[in-house]
Each structure stands twice: as structure tokens, then as C-alpha cells.
Amino acid sequence: MTLSPLTRRLLALITGVALLVVYAPLMLVLLNSFNTSQSFAWPPTGLTTRWWQAAWESQGARAAIWTSVEVAVLATAIALVLGTMAALALQRFAFFGRDFVSLLIILPIALPGVVTGIALANAFTTMIGIELGFFTLVVSHATFCIVTVFNNAVARLRRLGGNLEEASMDLGAGTFRTFFKITLPMLRSSLLAGGLLAFALSFDEIIVTTFTVGQGIQTLPIWIYQNLFRPNQAPVVNVVAAALIVLSVVPIWIAQRLAGTDESVAAAH
Amino acid sequence: MSGVLHRHPRLRLGLLLGPPMLWLGVAYLGALAALFITALWTADGFTGNIQREWTLDNFKDVFSLEVYRTITIRTLLTAVAVTVIDAALAFPVALYMAKVASPRAQRLLVIAILTPLWASYLVKAYAWRGMFSADGPIAWLADPFGLSTPGYGLVATVVTLAYLWLPYMILPMYAGLERLPNSLLEASADLGAGARVTLRRVVLPVLFPAVVAGSIFTFSLTLGDYIAVKIVGGTNQMLGNVIYDNVLTGNNLPFAAAVSTIPVVIMLVYLAAVRRTGALDNL
């Protein structure tokens, strides 16, 4: 099938329009963070940095950011350990029930978030009798973060095969030595990518969070959500949203750097 | 220790698999099972305390009351609409990225599609609230044509959800098309197939698992969403809202548990149906 010049131009046009639609709402949030109108009248009547200043001084937003970072760091750490273990087990061993295990790992993201949320909340409160709070939040976030680490690690292990590990074992290195000297360095950039994704997933999560957070703790998404419908808080919420859009470029940049080093590693082989 | 592990691969496997299985197999699956059990109990209407008496009343209510049937159908139709819109939009974009764009443009386009994925879900839903607002850009654009913004409602919900999950559809489609060698398309043309036949017999079979993989996300994420509906959906309710309201304000966890079995059953049937296509390996 050769695409005619007309088709090519049409495809380019559709892609262009799609990108425009993808970025227009994000640009609107950025622009509105400078809009003098508190109700975001369009087109803006004037520009101001007042809201950015107000957001910078917002205690609630600051505290919420810290809570989110703490939860995301802990959830990512758990996901890194469990995800790597599961990836090694599934990629380096053949055993009965392998398909079931891999299905089990994707289940927390394949099932709707409300289901995971209510199931965990119910298990914590009515079954075990733990009060909802920071601990339950970290546990629930780690549950759906495992899969991102797992996916990245499995893809890498599949691509590299087990030859180097076998060689290491044949040369007399033990299980742990082989893991730390051979397997882990091979996995490093994929674990970084998976960990980054897990962090972002946890930092951003709201659906499971609303069920397992309990009273008194506010993550950043919860803070945004609770202030979203308050007219006098609207400009500050909008600034936080704008800041998050700007910050979302950072992980992309890191991921590109990681991909870059991978390519140079591949080229060196 | 290391030597023992070295001689016993099964022990190594057990130690590797043990912790993740305790977490996901015992704790998570256990929680899902417990949810189903809770659905068979009742809550005290006054205090919200759970009474461990076995009853099927929750399920009877879910299936017999008109409201819940309407909400279930609305949620399902929304999920289907979002999936179809995303697939239809993602195809030309993925085709352009994989088969028309230069390698450099290809890399940039992948970044352009990926970047919004890192932006917060809540922020994106919120952004559409701004787009659809009474004095927002859509109203401003529509006004000269004598039209107005559709406002907050089902249309806004479908648009917002389709927007949110679009990258999940574009990326697997792009990956699928990228793996399809150009020589295969040329061979098809050389053998006399027109664009339409090639599309049906060469491109579509490659694309199908990718669409299925993407649809798992668009479907599941839509079925469970209740935040976007609250932000742009006006007074419309989805299954997620019923679950949330019953847990947090209605104090009726058993009933919420019964409602939440609906999306679980839908997703499990869906996953079982698509397992043969090999789409699960593409996730």
C-alpha cells in the first residue's frame, strides 16, 4: 500500500489538529493562571502574577505537596523491590501458573480504580480493623505501582536474555553476586524508568486515594479536588494546575536522557 | 546461603515469587474476595455499622431498581463511546507517526503524545472544565455561529474522558504499525491489492491486538471514573459515583460492594475474551 500524497497530507492535517486539541486545554490553564479575571473570562482582559504569589504562600498546597512526595517515594520503593522480584521470577523461570501470576500483576490497573479503592478500604476497615491513614495510603499506592516497574524490568530481561548471568554463575559467582554485579546493572535504566512512572502514577492518583486516605491527610490531588469548586480558591488551584503542567516536562526529559544512554549502550555492543 | 540457593533453583523461584505473591495474590486478591463477601452483608441504616448477616438484598436492589440499570447502561455506553472515539482518532495519528513522518519528526511526535500523560489527570479534567465553561473558549468560538457551549453534561464527560485516555490508544497502535515492515505493504500493492484491501488484510490484523490493548485502558478507566464526571459531567452519575457516594456519604459499604461487582465482572469477561488475541503481552 502506497499512501497517495493527498492521504499523506490529510494524515498530517489530522495529526496537527489532534495535537492542537491535546495542547489547547493545557495552554488554557497556563494562560488562565495569569488571567486577572477570577472567573477566567475568555479572552483574558488582563494579565497578572498575583495568583502565582498567592499560590506560593498557600500553606495547604505546600503541606499537600509534601504528603504526596512522601507517599510516592515509599510506594515507589516498595514497587521497585516487588516488581523486580516478580519480573525475575517470571522471566527467568518456567513454572505452572505463570500466566495467572502475570495476570495478577496487571489486575490492579486492569480493574477500575474505584474497585481497587473500595476493596482495599473495605479490607482495611471491616476485615482487618486498621484505621485509614498514611500507612493504608502507601499500601494501596504500592499495589498499583508494582506493574509499571514489572513491565519495564520484564521487557529489559526479555531483550537481554540470560547468557551473561549464566556465564557469571559458570565462572563461580554466587546467586547474590551475580544479581548485584550482572543483573542489577543491566536492569538499572529500566528500573529508573519504571520507578519514575510509578512515582508519577502515585503522585497523581486520586481515585484509589479518596477511598484509602482517611481523615486528616491531604495529598496534592485531594487538595486540588477539595478546592476545585470553591470560587475564591479557583485562581490558586489554577496556578497549582499550571505548575504541575510545567513540571510534567521533567520526567519526560529524564526518560529521554535514559533512552539516550540506552542507545549508546546498545551502540557500544 | 548463596550456595544453597545456587543448587536449588526452585527455592530461588519461591523466594523471588513469595513477597510479590503475598502482596498481590493474598492481600489484593483477598481484598477483592472480601469485597464480594461484604456485598452479601448489610449495613445498619442508622449507624452504618456492618452486620454480618447473609443476604442477597444488595444484589437484588442493584439489578431490580431502575436507577441502577440506567446508570449501568449510561456508564457502559460512555465507555464504548470513549473507546470508539479514541480508536478512530488514534488510527490516523498513529499511521502518520509510523509511516509518513520522518524519523526525527517521529521521535518528536512520540514525545508530544507522551508529555500530556505525565500531566496530572485531575489537572486535565480541570482544564476541560475551563474549556466548557459558560465564558470559556468553546463558548467564545461557538458564539459567532449562533451556537453555545454544550456545558457540563454527558457530552463534556465523553470528550474529557476520550481526551484523557487518547495516548493509551495512540501508543500501542503506533508501536504495532511501527513493527509492520514497509516491504509488506509494498508486497501487498505489488500483488495487486488496492489500499482498501491492504488495509483490511495486512494493516488491520497487526493493528487489532494494539487496539484491544488500548481499549483495556480506555474501557477500564472509563468504567471506574467518577472524578471527571463530577468535574465536567454536571449532575450525571456513573457507576463510580454510586460506589463512592455509598461508601463515603451513604455509609452503606455492602451496597457499594455489590455495585462494584458490575465493573469487575465486565472487565473480567473482557480480559478473558481478549486473552487469546495476545493483547495482554502488549500492555
Question: Domain of B202: which CATH number?
Answer: 1.10.3720.10
Q: What is the pLDDT of residue A258?
A: 73
Q: What is the pLDDT, as a whole number, of residue B90?
A: 92
B247: nearest CB among A102, A121, A200: A121
| Total tally of structural domains belonging to chain B | 1
Low-confidence ranges of chain B (pLDDT < 50): none
Q: Which of A40, A81, A146 sits opposite B130 (nearest CB)?
A: A40
Binned at pLDDT 50, 70 and 90, residue A264 comes out as: very low
Question: How confident is the model at residue B73, as a pLDDT?
Answer: 92
Instruction: Give the HSE-up count for residue A140: Cα atoms under 13 Å, Cβ half-sphere.
Output: 31
Task: Report residue A243's pLDDT band, with 50, 70 and 90 as the boundaries.
Answer: confident
- Which B-chain residues 51-80 have CB contacts (< 8 A) with chain A? none
- For residue B227, give the nearest of A18, A126, A206 by CB distance: A206
Report the greatest alpha carbon distance in chain A. Answer: 74
Residue A212, min C-alpha distance to chain B (Å): 11
Average of per-residue pLDDT across A256-267: 56
Pairing of strands B50-51, B42-43: antiparallel
Is any Cβ of chain B less than 8 angstroms from the Cβ of A154? no
Position A268 pLDDT exceeds 70: no
pLDDT at B1: 62
pLDDT at position A265 is: 43
Cβ distance A119 to B31 less than 8 Å, yes or no, reads yes
Residue A153 touches chain B, beta carbons under 8 Å: no
Q: Output the furthest CA–CA distance in chain B (Å, rounded).
A: 79
CA distance A111 to B225: 11
What φ, ψ does residue A125 adopt, rounded to 5°?
A: -85, -50
Neighbours of A59 (CB within 10 A): 7
Neighbours of B38 (CB within 10 A): 26
CB contacts of A1 in chain B (<8 Å) are: 185-186, 188-189, 193, 195, 198-199, 202-203
Most confident range (mean pLDDT) of A42-46, A174-178, B39-43, B89-93 is: B89-93
The chain B residue lying nearest A199, using CA atoms, is B118
Query: Which pLDDT value is given to residue A267?
Result: 39
Taking CA atoms, A252 is separated from A5, A259, B110, B124, in Å, by 33, 10, 11, 17
Contact A195, A80 (CB under 8 A): yes
CA of B213: which chain A residue's CA is closest? A110
Among A residues 189-248, those touching chain B with beta carbons less than 8 Å apart? 200, 203-204, 206-207, 210-211, 221, 224-225, 228, 237-238, 241, 244-245, 248
Query: Does the distance separating the beta carbons of A118 and B256 come in below 8 Å?
Result: yes
Burial class (CB in 10 A: 0-12, 13-18, 19+), B216: buried
With b for 16 or more beta-carbon neighbours within 10 A and e for fewer, the B88-112 pattern comes to ebbbbbbbbbbbbbeeeebeebbeb
User: What CATH superfamily is the domain A63-268?
Assistant: MetI-like (1.10.3720.10)
> Which residue among A40, A104, A111 sits closest to B267, beta carbon to beta carbon?
A111
B131 touches chain A (CB under 8 A): yes
Residue A93 contacts B, CB cutoff 8 Å: yes
Instruction: Say if B275 falls within a structural domain.
Output: yes
The whole-angstrom separation of Cα A111 and Cα A219 is 23
Concatenated DSSP letters of A177-193: HHIIIIIHHHHHHHHHH
Closest CB from B5, B133, B244 relative to A40? B133
| pLDDT value of residue A2 | 67
Label residue B184 exposed, middle or buried (CB < 10 Å: 0-12, 13-18, 19+): middle
Q: Residue B256 sits in which domain range?
A: 68-282
- pLDDT interval class at A262 (50, 70, 90): low
pLDDT at A146 over 60: yes
Shortest Cα distance from A204 to chain B (angstroms)?
5
Task: Give SS3 for A173.
Answer: coil
What is the band of A69 on the pLDDT scale with cuts at 50, 70, 90? very high
Helices within A111-133 (DSSP H only): 113-122
CA distances from B88 to A18, B146, B215 (A): 12, 29, 12
**Residue-level pLDDT at B250:** 72
Average pLDDT over residues A198-218: 88
CA distances from B60 to B66, B76, B242 (A): 12, 20, 16
- DSSP assignment of B133-191 equals STTSHHHHHHGGGT-----SSHHHHHHHHHHHHHHHHHHHHHHHHHHS-HHHHHHHHHT
> Which chain B residue is nearest to residue A169, measuring alpha carbons?
B6
Helix (H, G, I), strand (E, B) or coil at B42: strand
In this prediction the pTM is 0.85
CA distance B58 to chain A (A): 16
Average pLDDT over residues A235-242: 86
Contact at CB, B137 and A42, closer than 8 angstroms: yes
Residue B100 neighbours by CB under 8 Å, 6+ apart: A3, A8, A11, A12
Q: Please report the pLDDT score of residue A74 as a whole number.
A: 96
> Does B33 map to a domain?
no
Number of inter-chain CB pairs under 8 A, A vs B = 274
